[in-house]
């Protein structure tokens, strides 16, 4: 399996696969990724039509500069296998699998992709949105690490988690926080990206900004979105500020100077700075470079 390619994933907007007008607007928006959805946002009666619309979009649409991900229905549903076959034919960057609850779920998807002759570049994103998914998140990430699977990103499904557990979705998301942190921890362990769940209050600018800031502080790489109005705050909160860049460059420059050659710890602006901070600074500058492209 090829190595993962680092991408900026500050914002990932869900777009219903059966919404022709929304699909047509993708090229005019500034999200880092678009999750074209065949699952929750499409009713059972519209599944086949949505699949056809999806195929037409990918066959006739212009080349996208952002990532395009297709969320399919689970393989154990009446639509899952047909969705996955259609997705592979569209050649997106990734398929987003819902309700991943065990390492075996990833193995099953891998086998299906192999049988469909999916290109090696096609990645798997996994929604962690069930009690079983949270309980086995560590095992899912371990399997990705040990078996070098296509798994590339964990996506928090906060609405389903709240529904399945009876947990209240309070504005501060206090009751969900332990599970969200578990997703981030497991992603980091396996070298995966992690995206925060959606904010349902798409008309509340303060709410989406606060959730994005909270998600960034938790360690998420970005946030999944349900409305174009949420793209700007997500890109801003998960992006790299000019001040962050300046600080990172000072750290890199300091460790590069001859007087600090080979040192593990240096003093900079009255603070002790270690090589782990150098690694963080280099990663931040790399992220900033991705956001510019």
pLDDT digits (tens, 9 = 90+) for 66-87: 999 999 999 999 999 999 999 9
**pLDDT computed for residue 42 by the predictor:** 97
- Residues 174, 264 within the same domain: no
- Residues 40, 168 within the same domain: yes
- Residues 186, 42 within the same domain: yes
- Residues 258, 173 within the same domain: no
- Residues 133, 268 within the same domain: no
**pLDDT computed for residue 268 by the predictor:** 81
DSSP string for residues in the chain: -PPPPP---SEEEEEETT-HHHHHTGGGS--SEEEEESSTTS-GGGHHHHHHHHHHHHHHSPPPSSEEEEEPPPTTSTTHHHHHHHHHHH--SEEEESS--SHHHHHHHHHHHHHTT--TT-EEEEEE-SHHHHHTHHHHHHHHHHHT-SEEEEEE-HHHHHHHHT----TT-TTTHHHHHHHHHHHHHHT-EEEE---S-TT-HHHHHHHHHHHHHHT-SEEEESSGGGHHHHHHHHS--HHHHHHHHHHHHHHHSGGGTT-SEEEETTEEEEHHHHHHHHHHHHHHHHHH-
- Residues 95, 150 within the same domain: yes
Please check whether residue 5 lies inside any domain of the structure: no
Please check whether residue 62 lies inside any domain of the structure: yes
- Residues 217, 151 within the same domain: yes
Feature table: binding site for Mg(2+): 129, 160
Please check whether residue 227 lies inside any domain of the structure: yes
Feature table: binding site: 71, 129, 160
**pLDDT computed for residue 242 by the predictor:** 75
Q: What is the domain count for the chain?
A: 2
**pLDDT computed for residue 70 by the predictor:** 98
For the chain, residues with pLDDT lower than 70 are: 1-6, 61-64, 293
- Residues 257, 177 within the same domain: no
For the whole model, what pTM was predicted?
A: 0.87
Contacts of 99 (CB under 8 A, 6+ apart): 74, 105, 127, 129, 130, 133, 157, 160
Feature table: binding site for substrate: 71, 129
Q: Which residue range(s) make up the domain with 253?
A: 242-292
- Residues 130, 266 within the same domain: no
- Residues 199, 211 within the same domain: yes
- Residues 154, 288 within the same domain: no
Q: What angle do CA 191, 196, 202 make, to 5 degrees?
A: 155
- Give the CA diameter of the chain: 69
Please check whether residue 184 lies inside any domain of the structure: yes
What is d(CA 102, CA 139) in angstroms, rounded to the nearest whole number? 7
């Amino acid at each position: 399996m090829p190595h993962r390619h680092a991408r900026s994933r500050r914002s990932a907007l869900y777009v219903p696969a059966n919404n022709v007008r929304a699909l047509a607007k993708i090229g005019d928006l500034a999200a880092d990724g678009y999750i074209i959805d065949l699952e929750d946002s499409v009713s059972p009666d519209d599944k086949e039509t949505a699949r056809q619309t999806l195929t037409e979009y990918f066959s006739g649409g212009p080349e996208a500069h952002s990532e395009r991900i297709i969320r399919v229905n689970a393989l154990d549903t009446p639509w899952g296998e047909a969705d996955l076959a259609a997705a592979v034919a569209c050649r997106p960057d990734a398929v987003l699998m819902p309700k991943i609850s065990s390492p075996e779920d990833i193995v099953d998807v891998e086998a299906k992709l192999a049988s469909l002759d999916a290109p090696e570049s096609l990645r798997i994103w996994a929604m962690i949105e069930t009690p079983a998914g949270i309980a086995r998140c560590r095992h899912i990430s371990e399997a990705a690490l040990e078996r070098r699977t296509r798994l590339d990103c964990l996506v928090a499904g906060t609405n389903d988690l709240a529904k399945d557990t009876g947990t209240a979705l309070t504005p501060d998301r206090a009751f969900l926080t332990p599970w969200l942190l578990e997703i981030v921890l497991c992603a980091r362990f396996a070298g995966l990206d992690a995206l925060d769940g959606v904010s349902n209050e798409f008309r509340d600018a303060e709410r989406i900004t606060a959730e994005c800031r909270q998600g960034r502080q938790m360690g998420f790489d970005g946030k999944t979105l349900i409305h174009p109005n949420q793209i700007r705050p997500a890109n801003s909160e998960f992006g790299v500020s000019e001040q962050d860049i300046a600080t990172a460059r000072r750290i890199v420059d300091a460790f590069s100077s001859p007087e600090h050659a080979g040192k593990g710890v240096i003093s900079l602006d009255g603070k002790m700075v270690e090589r782990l901070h150098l690694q963080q600074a280099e990663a931040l500058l790399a992220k900033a470079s991705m956001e510019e492209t």
